Structure 1
Amino acid sequence: MSKAKSSHPHLVKMVQHMVRISSYLSETSQDEFFAKRLNYDAIMKQTDLLGEIVSQLVHDDPDNITKKFNEIPWAEVRAIRNRSSHNYFSIDPNIIWKYVTEELPDIEAGIRNILAKRYRTTQVEDYS
């Protein structure tokens, strides 16, 4: 894999995944999240993709974003992905619900803040 010229694309992808998670959450209640596997699976897929982007960013970070903006819990985002993708431990849906409803909005705000400060952009279109 060649080195990225900017960390910007990684950050945009992160926001895109978080926007999808928010969208899916807006279409489900906590009870439905636990009862309907489709809702859980859709949110977990986006969580996994988010964690993968963070892993790529940590390894290929030409702008040193992960060091300069250490208020973002980069390791936590990666850890959630690693646990679900590699099935190290069974993941408690209650932990995932709390993570996506309580922690991810702050992480998204932090990433958007980095985009605004560092790259002077706030536009993030949904990916296809």
Structure 2
Amino acid sequence: MTAAKDPRPFLAHIAESIEWIERHVAGMGIEDFTENVPAQDMVARRLEIIGEAARNIPQEFREQHSSLAWSNMVGMRNVLIHQYFGIDPNIVWDTVVRDLPKLKKQIAQLRAELDADRGVRAV
């Protein structure tokens, strides 16, 4: 697998962004989030990174792992980038609490499988 076609760095960016979001919204509820513009901005930026990383993962790899919502990740990124003026913090919050926990598990599993294929053991 060439470096240009290697999905691992992009999967790492997704995992890192999910962890960043989790750390910074821990203990928050929807009310806290909708009143905290810096938190909204940080989450939006990290969701943009997730979407951009997903977009850069080779199409063949995405097709082989079609159970992940690649197009939703890219779609959210596009909305956040191009329609920033109409972002609903409630929808962003729903993504954080409903979608990210599942995505975190899926990305961790993919990364573990790729590492196992390379003979790398998790620390």
Q: TM-score range by the shorter chain?
A: 0.7 to 0.9
Match of 1:74 among 48, 70, 73: 70
Change (3 A) 1:33 1:24: same
Aligned length: 119
What secondary structure, in the 3-state scheme, does the structure 2 residue paired with 1:4 have? helix
Q: How far apart, CA to CA, are the structure 2 residues paired with 1:70 and 1:3?
A: 22
Mapping for residues 9-88 of structure 1, pairs under 5 Å:
9-57=9-57, 61=58, 64-87=60-83
Q: How far apart, CA to CA, are the structure 2 residues paired with 1:32 and 1:88?
A: 20
- Structure 1 unaligned regions, length at least 5: none
Output the amino acid matched with 1:16. E
Cα-to-partner distance string for 1:66-86 (whole Å, 9 max, x where unaligned) = 111111000001111100101
Q: Structure 1 or 2: larger helix share? A: 2
Change (3 A) 1:13 1:106: same
Output the amino acid matched with 2:73. V
Q: How far apart, CA to CA, are the structure 1 residues paired with 2:73 and 2:5?
A: 23
Output the amino acid matched with 1:78. V
Please, what TM-score do these two structures have when normalized by structure 2?
Answer: 0.85
Q: Which moved more, 1:26-35 or 1:98-107?
A: 26-35
Give the equivalent residue in structure 1 for 2:89.
93
Cα-to-partner distance string for 1:23-75 (whole Å, 9 max, x where unaligned) = 11215332110011011111111111111111111xxx28x321111110000
Change (3 A) 1:113 1:83: same
Please, what TM-score do these two structures have when normalized by structure 1?
Answer: 0.82
Q: How far apart, CA to CA, are the structure 2 residues paired with 1:18 and 1:122?
A: 22
RMSD, aligned CA: 2.4
Conserved? CA contact 2:52–2:74, under 8 Å? yes
Output the amino acid matched with 1:105. P
- Structure 2 unaligned regions, length at least 5: none
Mapping for residues 104-123 of structure 1, pairs under 5 Å:
104-120=100-116
